[in-house]
Amino acid sequence: MSEEVLTEVRDGILIVTINRPEAKNAMNQAAAEGIAAAMDRLDAEDDLRVAILTGAGGTFCSGMDLKGFLRGERPSIDGRGFGGITEKGPVKPLIAAVEGYALAGGFELMISCDLVVANSGAKFGIPEAKRGLAAAAGGLVKLPQMIAPKIAMELALTGDFIDAQRAYDLGLVNRVTDGPALDAALELAGKVTANGPVAVRVSKQVIVESPGWSYEERWQKQGALMPQVFMSEDAREGSLAFAEKRAPNWKGK
């Protein structure tokens, strides 16, 4: 794992920290490789149930490292995109814990996560046009599917920032906290880890993939995935635990 990315495990939660505070956690190649490696670990290890992506030093990510860009460095991973997740994320849930700025590529990292928790002082935006660039890591193609297209257009063309409350009102943020974003993200992650791992994984898969399904095929495609859930050991365990008034003992199979 690169020194630009730190990892820690707490109760089945993998905390992934972009560790370039001197550069406002601007994304370089080493950090992108570190995040991609952490996502591989998340999906490979059965005892890991969810990950949190955050940044060191009070900033989430200020975007692409422009100095690295001028040196010809590419902060992307083939097949995965900017920061190792914008084109293809992990199978298991990923939560963004945002402090400070989530700008440009940092904003695109954030919207590539499944859930977002932000400190009330956080700022968001895709100001690439101010530098003669474009938000090509998801800002231009994902954002109009998440919020009103005219608002997405305004953010892209003006490069203006929005605050945490505005991001929450637009539906880009799940929770705003006055305290540390990581603490609130850990609380949210705990709610995810309390549930059946197979059910969580397949539920995420359907929500992520179904926008590309036609009306005619949506029930067929969803139905093809459901046996993994309803025929799993966890499905039986969840029902037994409910009947016996106890916490489930999930096996993830």
SS (H, E, C) 201-237: HHHHHHHHHHHHCCCCCHHHHHHHHCHHHHCCHHHHH
108 is a catalytic site residue: yes
**Which residue out of 33, 45, 128, 209 is catalytically annotated?**
128
User: Domain 5-193 class?
Assistant: alpha beta
Closest CA to 52 of 104, 3, 1, 110: 110
Name the pLDDT band for 2 (thresholds 50, 70, 90): low
User: Model confidence over 231-246: pLDDT tens digits?
Assistant: 998 898 898 889 999 8
Query: Is the pLDDT confidence value at 1 over 70?
Result: no
User: Model confidence over 19-30: pLDDT tens digits?
Assistant: 999 999 999 999
Domain ranges of the chain: 5-193, 197-243
Q: Does this model's pTM top 0.85?
A: yes
User: Model confidence over 178-205: pLDDT tens digits?
Assistant: 999 999 999 999 999 999 999 999 999 9
**Which residue out of 108, 154, 187, 216 is catalytically annotated?**
108
- Residue where the block lists tokens 């039986």: 236
Name the pLDDT band for 70 (thresholds 50, 70, 90): confident
Name the pLDDT band for 17 (thresholds 50, 70, 90): very high
Contacts of 144 (CB under 8 A, 6+ apart): 152, 153
The torsion of the CA quartet 189, 85, 225, 42, rounded to 10 degrees, works out to -50
128 is a catalytic site residue: yes
